[in-house]
Structure 1
Amino acid sequence: MMPTTDGPGFVATEHALWRPYAQMKTTPPALPVVSAEGVRLTLADGRQLIDGVSSWWTVCHGYRHPHIIDAVKRQLDAVPHVMLGGLTHDPAERLATRLAALAPGDLNHVFFSESGSVSVEIAMKIAVQSFINRGERGRTRFLAFRGGYHGDTLATMSVCDPEEGMHALFAGAIARQVIADLPVDADRIDSLAVLLSEQADTLAGVVVEPLVQGAGGMRFHDAATLQALRNLSDQHGLPLIFDEIMTGFGRLGTLFAAEKAGVTPDIMTVSKALTGGTLPLAATIASTRLFETFWGEDPGRALMHGPTYMGNPAACAAANASLDLFEREPRLAQVHAIEAMFAALLPEARALPGVVDVRWQGAIGVIEMESLPELEILKASFVDAGVWVRPFNTIIYLMPPYVISAEDLEHLIRTTLRVTEAWARRHFSRV
């Protein structure tokens, strides 16, 4: 039996699975999923939920797309895994070639890993070592931005928003970076220019989520902001890193946010939808200019990094199949259709009490609230209404799979509006 109080003798068998972002003592029980198909999750009790967030923004083609499933099965029958140290295989070689061809500009060199956070750390490591390889030491810090989020590993935590992230909790354990406001207007551009003139010789690069800051609150900015960062980075010889882990593979209506913005970074990181939400895989894609700083006869100039499961054949097979679907099926057109329905229906939320802003871009729709009291009750209300929607901080957002039908999308949006209205009227009142 489970002891009634925890302490030195506490036996945690009941909590063998340690869940993410959860206070295990107080968090409600998780909902057991027994199957998933298309845009629907089926729970153990038989209820079905329309997935409104693409399982943390990964399932762009819907669950269990037969083309991806078949590709993974065939790869498992051939070579499920082999190390990339001294060996190689066709799925990784082919995927790297395809990603280099799809990425903008001269982003021609692909380094694989297993998670988005690690891909950002690799980007940071490439940036730092590129200076070392050119004989410049002392460039160890990064410029990042308030509202940003780049992962939960120690290095990526340091370039997240210092308030929204976990800086205070882990003070002393993570590096101190240069955190600034995004240059979204002339005054902030000028302020950033001054900051860089003072700090640039200590910096190894600039890290930003292009067009949308995701987990920091789904904050949008425009292409001019990224162009300003491109110009300032060039002025100071700093690599510009685009974290496209959320925006990559169609979420904003183009394959990459860099493409939509018309701005090419020096390094781009991708993950999440890379495999269509099937297997873990990430990639750090670097420019030829940076790659050449590692090229030569000296082994000390090599990038000394090698995740054990980097380029896993089954994951690469899934990613190649996912890219096939972007070529064969109208994914980007589906994103534009989602955006159009957001534009038609989401503005209704502006009349609700407690609503601060309503915005959308591509297949992202956001209702921002003054606050979200009783958050777990709100989450449960969405489940009771038959949709899987996961509000956080002060936002209620939708990021459905691209393949969602018009009927299901309208139902998802209207249900979200209905649940939000009922909850908002209980918690807010107009003055």
Structure 2
Amino acid sequence: MDVEFDQKHLWHPYTNLNQPTPVQAVDRAEGVYLYLQDGTRVIDAMSSWWCCIHGYNHPVLNQAVTEQLGKMSHVMFGGLTHRPAIELGKKLLEITDESLDAVFFADSGSVAVEVAMKMAAQYCFEQGETEKKQFITFAKGYHGDTFGAMSVCDPVTGMHHKFNKLLNKHIFIDSPQCGFNDAWQDQCLDEFKCVLKQHHDKTIAVIFEPIVQGAGGMNFYSPEYLKEVRHLCDQYDVLLIFDEIATGFGRTGKLFAYEHAAVVPDILCLGKALTGGYMTLSAVLCNQKVAKGISTNFMHGPTFMANPLACAVALASINLLLESNWQARIESMAKQMTSELGELIGLPHVKDVRVLGAIAVVELFSDNNCDWQAFQSQTAAEGVWVRPFMNMIYIMPPFIIEPSELTHITKTLTKIIKRLPC
């Protein structure tokens, strides 16, 4: 494998080609393991950025792709349809709240957010609410790397501040300060309540990640916040969008994060684990209010919309998840990670250790002295693949991981975090 060519010519996420970040060459993958070119293997504690909930090279998912490939790999969705899209659409409406009634298939998570924002905007415009031009969202939020998605990501601490002059300006409020297990305090909602009251007549929609803010800081917040936001959006007739690209399909311990609060958005974005990590695909679901409120053509249509291969493997992945004992498995993972990472609590450089569902986070007070490349090299040498960011070391292993494999991850992280200089 020509890694030298890679380092000279291939961009990787959030890197530059003048000082390329070192990469590990993966030869193949099986179960929870990545097999590197040098013959070593590492447990993928990241599920390839939340996606591979069933691990790698799963026979059921392989079969779904192979069978669909024998029929057709792709056909345009303009004026045509096919069984994988229809069956996947039925399944998504079956497993989400009954109020969600329509599905738009898109390419990726970022594009799903673009579609949701356009959908909300067109709905408002067609109701004659043409003065609505802004979205309300959280600081420390992350919704993707395309322009609409970037505009509702954190404008200061996020990854897109270099493009601020090119982005539409929206309204940002502080991220929720009420922890997932904290006793609810009404004042946690004061800023949102004030901002929505002041700006609802100019607000297209409220958009945020429910329960878990991912790349913005792995913040787990109270379900009560969602309940109150839903109530206020209804009071002021403002649409509510949930970005569940990362949290959907069991990651938080519920099939969808909004279930923690028993509230439902007007528009729901899904992606990442939708296909079990096999192919890029996302879906935007909306209720009848939005679907019927858009009476003219909705002007969005990706070339690979509802790709048959992706739809087929997504349907197989969802069925594989639902037919497994996934709730008990994730509950067991949560208890194990809480117990085994618990000895890090109280270390002078560790600010917090938190677990929700199949997500565990070790937050440091600072990353000023941390060499994350060296950290990755050390964990990889121990047989674990992680990718820290900012001051966060976090894991979200595949749901199929064995307890002994999970222990190997937690013990490796514990050992290396204890000797960090930061």
Task: Map Cα deviations across residues 70-105 of structure 1 (whole Å, 9 max, x no partner).
Answer: 000110110100011000000001101110111124
- Which residue matches 1:230? 230
- Residues 374-413 of structure 1 mapped to structure 2, 5 A cutoff: 374-413=371-410
Q: Over the residues paired in the alignment, what is the CA RMSD in angstroms?
A: 1.4
Structure 1 runs (4+) greater than 6 angstroms displaced: none
Residue 21 of structure 1 aligns with which residue? Answer: 14
Match in the other structure for 1:242:
242
1:26-48 superposed Cα distances (whole Å, 9 cap, x missing partner): 23331110010000000000010
Map 1:220-299 to 2 at 5 A: 220-295=220-295
Q: Structure 1 residues 274 and 125, CA, compared in 2 at 3 Å: closer, same or farther?
A: same
The CA deviation string for residues 199-229 of structure 1, in whole angstroms up to 9 with x for no partner, is 1111100001010000111101011011111
Cross-structure match for 1:6: none
* Structure 2 CA distance for aligned equivalents of residues 381 and 248 of structure 1: 31
- Corresponding residue for residue 129 of structure 2: 136
* TM-fit CA distance, 1:191: 2.5
Aligned with 2:70: secondary structure? helix
User: Normalization by structure 2: what TM-score?
Assistant: 0.94
Does the 8 Å CA contact 1:149/1:215 hold for their aligned counterparts?
yes
Question: Which has the larger displacement, 365-374 or 82-91?
Answer: 365-374
Q: 1:416 aligns with which of 395, 409, 413?
A: 413
Between the aligned partners of 2:363 and 2:62, the Cα distance in structure 1 is: 37
Q: CA shift at 1:192, angstroms?
A: 1.9
CA distance in 2, matches of 1:20, 1:176: 25
Conserved? CA contact 1:105–1:264, under 8 Å: no
1:309 to 301, 304, 308: 304
Do 1:213 and 1:219's aligned partners in 2 also have CA atoms closer than 8 Å? yes
Q: Is the 8 A contact 1:182 1:225 kept in 2?
A: no
Structure 1-normalised TM-score? 0.92
Q: Deviations over 1:168-225 (max 9, x none)?
A: 3112211100000245442242222221121111110000101000011110101101
Residue 36 of structure 1 aligns to a residue whose secondary structure is strand
Asked whether 1:107 is paired with 2:104, we answer no
**CA deviation digits over 1:354-411, x for unaligned, max 9?**
0000100000001000122222111211111110011101110110000000110111
8 Å contact kept, 1:149–1:216:
yes
8 Å Cα contact 1:104/1:258 also seen in 2:
no
Determine the structure 1 residue equivalent to 2:181. none
Number of residue equivalences: 409
The one-letter code matched in structure 2 to 1:208 is: F
Q: Would the alpha carbon gap of residues 148 and 13 (structure 1) be closer, same or farther in structure 2, given more than 3 Å must change?
A: closer
Larger displacement relative to structure 2 (24-33 or 235-244):
24-33
Q: Which amino acid aligns with 1:292?
A: K
CA distance in structure 2 between the partners assigned to 1:188 and 1:362 by the alignment: 24
5+ residue gaps, structure 1, are 1-11, 296-300
- Whether 2:84 is the aligned partner of 1:87: answer no
In 1: Cα distance, 2:155 partner to 2:188 partner: 18
Aligned counterpart, 1:328: 323
Instruction: Supply the distance in 2 between the matched residues of 1:200 and 1:396 (Cα, whole angstroms).
Output: 38
1-side partners of 2:7 and 2:410: how far apart?
A: 37
Q: Which one-letter code corresponds to 1:125 in the other structure?
A: K
Structure 1 residues 125 and 418: alpha-carbon distance in aligned structure 2, compared to 1, 3 A threshold: same
Report the Cα distance in structure 1 between the residues aligned to 2:18 and 2:53, rounded to whole angstroms. Answer: 33
Q: Distance in 2 between matches of 1:237 and 1:393?
A: 37
Structure 2 Cα separation of the partners of residues 383 and 150 of structure 1: 29
**Is contact 2:7-2:17 (8 Å) kept?**
no
The answer to whether residue 68 in structure 2 is matched with residue 75 in structure 1 is yes
CA distance in 1, matches of 2:237, 2:193: 13
Contact 1:365 1:399 in 2 (8 A): yes
Instruction: Report the AA paired with residue 172 of structure 1.
Output: K
Change (3 A) 1:18 1:28: closer
1:195 to 2:187 alignment = no
Structure 2: stretches of 5+ with no match in the other structure: 179-184
Offset at 1:164? Answer: 2.2
- Separation in 1, partners of 2:257, 2:42: 29
Aligned sequence identity (%): 42
